[in-house]
Amino acid sequence: MLKPPQKPSDAWKWFDPRGREPGSWAFIINRLSALGLTVYLYLHLSVLGKLAQGPEAYDSFVHLAESPVVILGELLVIFAALYHGLNGLRIALTSFGIAVPYQRQLFYVIFLLTILGSVIFAVRMFT
């Protein structure tokens, strides 16, 4: 477990990925996925607002949505949603005392399922 930095030169240790336990990675990825999904929700609502501006505004967005950058962003949303949801199930199980000794293995399983699900979505998106 990392301790808070005692002096400013120790602050870089917070961003050093080496030596982190799987539980730390699960927490970090969960928080990042939550932030990403929050940003996506805002973007989604603003896109729905384009519908109120008329067909021309929405058609221009649809043209933008076909760009590779936006498609990659959609794939990241799929990854974040899968991971965040599955990790939430892991947290709920362990909160109720179920499978507590297997948290590390559960993290690896949910991460593998997230990657597998993301690959399936990617194949379907790009074919």
The closest alpha carbon to 113, from 88, 92, 76, 83, belongs to 83
**pLDDT tens-digit readout, 59-103:** 888 888 888 888 899 999 999 999 999 999 999 999 999 999 999
| Residue 99 DSSP label | S
Give me the count of residues in the chain: 127
CA–CA separation, 117 vs 83, rounded Å?
10
CA–CA separation, 106 vs 100, rounded Å?
9
| Residue 68 DSSP label | H
The pair of three-digit structure tokens given for residue 125, joined into one six-digit string: 């998106």
- Domains in the chain (CATH in brackets) are 23-126 (1.20.1300.10)
What predicted TM-score, i.e. pTM, was given to this entire model? 0.80
